[in-house]
């Protein structure tokens, strides 16, 4: 496979409803897509960086900059022809994992389409369908939250994740348990909003039989999570902290995490994501697939990943309608609380050209030297 370059494209996608977390409120997603163009089929990648560096240090404008200035030129110089070679060529550059992941995903898609193999099979898929969880934002009131959860349960979601922050934690969890009972799978995500000084407050969540508490403490505070894990009985699950298979192994060994949220963008790509799955599985640590409000492209790849055998908990893998009135691919539609793993070549889906053009705000073709 010989690559000619990458088409970078920013799309603006309005959310069906505002999504509030401990770090901010999203109403529209500004997403950077990359298309690998060469002598074979095009390949699509999606960069999960947000507009602002609030979830992680990465952000969309920086992703465009680092791709144009450093990453794509390095791929040109290396003369890469496979996704594995992308990771190796980009290794010297520190960080910028979401940008690296997007480029690797595009090349991987192109490569697999050429060879007529599906991403799911390539990664080691062990299921035809995956169960869907949904991430529910912070709401203005408990009744509004209960309405939202009621709606998602009605649609068939099999697991609910509540976003929490200081001042919105025990009360919403208690209200959801009281209204919907002990039968529903329930977990919470703090996006780093607490410190160890909040241990007593977080321990109050132990009364509600939660699957896990996701990323209560800052990204760098691995030891803090290990200490917290000793003092609360709810399993601790790291998200932001886990940036590679190496960090995953360290966090497991230190007792900082007993469940892992795997997001390919956060860790530099689907190949590194699979390594984390393998490391966790070898340690008997369950994993689940996180979400970054992806379009149908990233969603397709996440569904494929979530079908690996170590993904034993439902992920933030939801239907297109969770976030979009109109997705840029054929919409992902849930049946029975599940999504079907795509089996076509590569991602198994591609953007619908008309919809893509309508939401595009900027494009640039960056040749490979
Ligand atoms: O794509 O379903 C989704 C979003 C899931 O809550 C979600 N993601 O920390 O896990 C997380 C957040 C990160 C994005 S918040 C804007
Ligand atoms: Mg999270």
Rg of the Cα atoms in the chain: 20
Q: Is-contact 22 164, C-beta < 8 A? A: yes
CB atoms within 10 A of CB 154: 8
CB atoms within 10 A of CB 137: 16
Instruction: Report the distance separating Cα 81 and Cα 1, nearest Å.
Output: 5
**How many Å lie between the centroid of ligand 1 and the Cα of residue 263?**
10
Q: Is the CB of 191 under 6 A from ligand 1?
A: yes
Q: Is the CB of 187 under 6 A from ligand 1?
A: no
Instruction: Report the distance separating Cα 306 and Cα 295, nearest Å.
Output: 16
User: Residue 36's closest CA among 113, 98, 88, 90?
Assistant: 113
Structure confidence at residue 310 (pLDDT): 98
Q: Is the CB of 76 under 6 A from ligand 1?
A: no
Residues with CB under 5 A from ligand 2 (ion): 189, 214, 239
Burial of 147 (0-12, 13-18, 19+ CB in 10 A): exposed
Predicted TM-score (pTM) above 0.95: yes
**How many Å lie between the centroid of ligand 2 and the Cα of residue 205?**
17
Q: Domains of the chain (ranges plus CATH)?
A: 3-116+352-367 (3.30.390.10), 121-340 (3.20.20.120)
pLDDT tens sequence for the chain (369 residues) = 899 999 999 999 999 999 999 999 999 999 999 999 999 999 999 999 999 999 999 999 999 999 999 999 999 999 998 999 999 999 999 999 999 999 999 999 999 999 999 999 999 999 999 999 999 999 999 999 999 999 999 999 999 999 999 999 999 999 999 999 999 999 999 999 999 999 999 999 999 999 999 999 999 999 999 999 999 999 999 999 999 999 999 999 999 999 999 999 999 999 999 999 999 999 999 999 999 999 999 999 999 999 999 999 999 999 999 999 999 999 999 999 999 999 999 999 999 999 999 999 999 999 997
Instruction: Report the distance separating Cα 137 and Cα 175, nearest Å.
Output: 15
DSSP code of 55? S
Residues designated as active site: 163, 263
Q: Is the CB of 135 under 6 A from ligand 1?
A: yes
């Amino acid at each position: 496979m010989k690559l000619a370059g990458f088409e970078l494209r920013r799309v603006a996608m309005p959310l069906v409803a505002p999504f509030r977390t401990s770090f901010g409120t999203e109403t529209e997603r500004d997403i950077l897509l990359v298309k690998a163009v060469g002598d074979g089929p095009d390949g699509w990648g999606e960069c999960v960086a947000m507009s602002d560096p609030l979830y992680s240090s990465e952000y969309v404008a920086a992703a465009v900059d680092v791709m144009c200035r450093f990453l794509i030129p390095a791929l040109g110089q290396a003369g890469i022809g496979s996704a594995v070679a992308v990771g190796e060529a980009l290794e010297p550059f520190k960080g910028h994992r979401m940008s690296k992941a997007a480029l690797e995903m595009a090349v991987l898609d192109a490569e697999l389409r050429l060879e007529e193999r599906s991403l799911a099979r390539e990664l080691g898929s062990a299921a035809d369908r995956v169960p869907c969880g949904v991430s529910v934002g912070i709401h203005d009131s408990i009744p509004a939250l209960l309405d939202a959860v009621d709606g998602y349960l009605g649609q068939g979601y099999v697991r609910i994740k509540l976003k929490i922050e200081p001042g919105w934690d025990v009360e919403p969890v208690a209200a959801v348990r009281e209204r919907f009972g002990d039968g529903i799978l329930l977990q919470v995500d703090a996006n780093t909003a607490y410190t160890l000084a909040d241990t007593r407050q977080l321990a109050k969540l132990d009364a509600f039989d939660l699957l896990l508490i996701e990323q209560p403490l800052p990204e760098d505070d691995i030891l803090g999570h290990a200490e917290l894990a000793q003092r609360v009985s709810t399993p601790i699950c790291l998200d932001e902290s886990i940036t590679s298979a190496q960090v995953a192994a360290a966090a497991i060994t230190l007792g900082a995490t007993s469940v892992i949220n795997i997001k390919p963008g956060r860790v530099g790509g689907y190949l590194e994501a699979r390594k984390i799955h393998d490391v966790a599985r070898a340690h008997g640590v369950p994993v689940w697939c996180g979400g970054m409000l992806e379009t149908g492209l990233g969603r397709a790849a996440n569904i494929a990943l979530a079908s690996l055998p170590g993904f034993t908990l439902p992920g933030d893998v939801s239907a297109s309608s969770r976030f979009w009135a109109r997705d840029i691919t054929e919409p992902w539609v849930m049946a029975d609380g599940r999504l079907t793993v795509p089996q076509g070549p590569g991602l198994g889906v591609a953007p619908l050209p008309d919809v893509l053009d309508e939401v595009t705000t900027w494009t640039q073709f960056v040749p490979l030297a």
